[in-house]
Chain A
Amino acid sequence: MKFLTTNFVQCAVQSCARSSDAFPLKYSECQLVQKEIDFDPEFIAHMLQKLDWDALVEVAAELGNSSLPPQKPTIEDAQAAENEQLLRDLHSLLLETQIEQGVMTCKNCGHLYHIKNFIPNFLLPPHLA
């Protein structure tokens, strides 16, 4: 599970769908691994626009990274030299930082989801499906 993906998944329980507490999930007991992915500055600059930055900062802190700025950085020119370091840092955080195993908890209903072998499991038990 890429760190980027934590910005796009929420609790799968139907009654949590409209709750603002169902996203982001709370991440704990996580084991992180860095995996090399090809760097594409345009892609990262576009991705930055799609991010829910508050959720990103919150999850990053849960995973031990408290160095993100509270406000989303803006990048107008992905090819400009002065933006390269920031884009590389974001690339490393969003795509290369991957959760090998861990637990995700819904802050609304408390349901636990597990990540094993990099794959989050959002299947619900029969009484919730």
Chain B
Amino acid sequence: MATVIHVTKTVPVTNDAAEQILSDLDSSLLHDSVANQLERVQRDLRGLPPQRSEEKPPSNGPEDAVYIYISSAYMEDEHVHKVYEQIAHHFSSTRYKPWPKVDSFLKSRPTGAVGCDIGGGNGKYLRYPQVFTIGSDRSENLTSIASERAMVSANDVFRGDGMHTAYCRGRFDFAISIAVVHHFSTPERRIAAVKAVLETLSTHGECLIYVWALEQEKSRRGWHEGMDQDVMVPWVDNHDSGKVVQRRGRLYY
């Protein structure tokens, strides 16, 4: 399944559009339980690989759903934000190398492009001199580290939430969301997070969204070595009576 998607914004931002992107990214993430999500987050933070055998089956009962909905913000706060705050310095020291796909996306932005890095952590992508990138993150410690980098270059940084962003809507040439969306603990919140990324973009703005792969090496979901990584992804344009248009999209596996 895809873990990264490169989208060119061509139509108004809707929940459906955001949901489509999430399902392109990895449909199983949308249906995963909070417990599994958190376990994955914590394993990743400790540098451990995903451990599928220990994953609990997703719980689908209505009571669970209500519980998950109510507690999701608290769970993220307790298990994601506080963890990142505690491990910020160690985490940052291990996260200095740009991921190649992100690197090539950012290198190919034209001079003077304005972009945002939502959930940008220690600001490791604030290093491309031809663009102005404003990074944001919830973590105070990671934002401080990012600020040191941003202050002496043509970039900037602020503290902010991935669902309620302070970025001006429709003004950014590009946006990146790298290993962020999977931290949101319910489908509704992940949709809101993807929507927030899309909303920053100007009409032909492009974004790159990366999530963790549930299974990186197994081909259970149908992908195998040698398959074409470029696909056309249908985008439902709600403003044109649900007409499906093809938008340019690239999936990386």
Contact = CB atoms under 8 A, between A and B. Distances in A.
User: Do the two shown chains form a genuine complex with each other?
Assistant: yes
A123 B161 contact: yes
A12 B154 contact: no
Interface string B40-56: 00000000000000000
B154 A46 contact: no
A49 B166 contact: no
Contacts of B158: 1, 5, 9, 119-122
Interface string A16-56: 01100001000000000001011010110111011010000
B134 interface: yes
Contacts of B232: none
Nearest to A23: B168
A1 B156 CA distance: 6
B235 interface: no
Contacts of B113: 46
Contacts of B73: 126, 129
Contacts of A2: 156
B109 to A, nearest CB: 11
Interface residues of A, number: 41
Contacts of B156: 1-2, 4-5
B216 interface: no
Contact of B167 (A4, A8, A14, A123): A8
A40 B129 contact: yes
A98 interface: yes
Given A9-B166, A12-B166, A119 B143 contact: yes
A113 B164 CA distance: 14
Interface in B114-147: 114, 129-130, 132, 134, 136, 138, 143-144, 147
A118 B151 contact: yes
23 contacts: A1-B158, A4-B132, A5-B134, A8-B114, A9-B158, A12-B166, A13-B164, A23-B168, A42-B111, A43-B129, A46-B113, A47-B132, A50-B112, A50-B114, A50-B173, A117-B147, A119-B143, A119-B147, A122-B136, A122-B158, A122-B166, A123-B159, A128-B164
